[in-house]
Amino acid sequence: MQKGNRSNILSSTYQRNITKKGFLSFTIGTNLNSKRKNNFAYIPFNLNLDSNKSISVTDLYQNKYHTKQLGISSPITSNMGWGYNANLIKAKATNYNVQVNRNGKNNDIGVYLQKNDTEIMKQFNIKGGIFSIDKSYYETRPINGGLALIKVNSLKNVGVYNNNLLASG
């Protein structure tokens, strides 16, 4: 039975909050089994903005390779609205990963763009539901789990709730 190679990593990190919402850190390290070949330095800077938005810049040096990364993020914080996430990575090749999402009243839409070295991926998603009652068609947000249709005929001002929230008509 062959024994696997084991890494012995020695690293040190220093982190400092430079604003109430931002920090800078610095990590250096080496693999003690091969000190001349496996050294690394990692410098990230992160800034948290209002409404869960964030920006990050990272500089990484490892084994004679230098990588820089810029990240921007703003996730969807409620059931409705816009969200985005983008990463730009500069190393031997320039790579990126971009995602934009919109959750709306009747559907969720997503656009994804990604490039890794020589491969490019593009994707467009739209999710929603269409249902029918009495030969009329309606569209709705994605249905996960189940759907109930109730016909109220002559009753007026009947509130309709979706996930404990009053849905607008």
pTM of the model as a whole: 0.64
Residue-level pLDDT at 1: 45
- Helices first, then strands: H and E counts in the chain: 0, 12
Q: Which has more confidence, 162 or 92?
A: 92
**pLDDT confidence band for 56 (50 / 70 / 90):** very high
* Residue 163, CA atoms < 13 Å, CB-side half-sphere: 7
* Residue 76: band (very low, low, confident or very high) from pLDDT cuts 50, 70, 90: confident
Q: Quote the DSSP letter at residue 5.
A: P
Mean pLDDT of all residues in 2-8: 66
- Among 53, 76, 97, 84, which residue's Cα sits nearest to residue 141? 76
Q: Give start and end residues of each alpha helix (H) in 21-163.
A: none
Mean pLDDT of the chain: 84
Structure tokens at 67: 């990588």
Domain residue ranges of the chain, discontinuous segments joined by + = 9-128
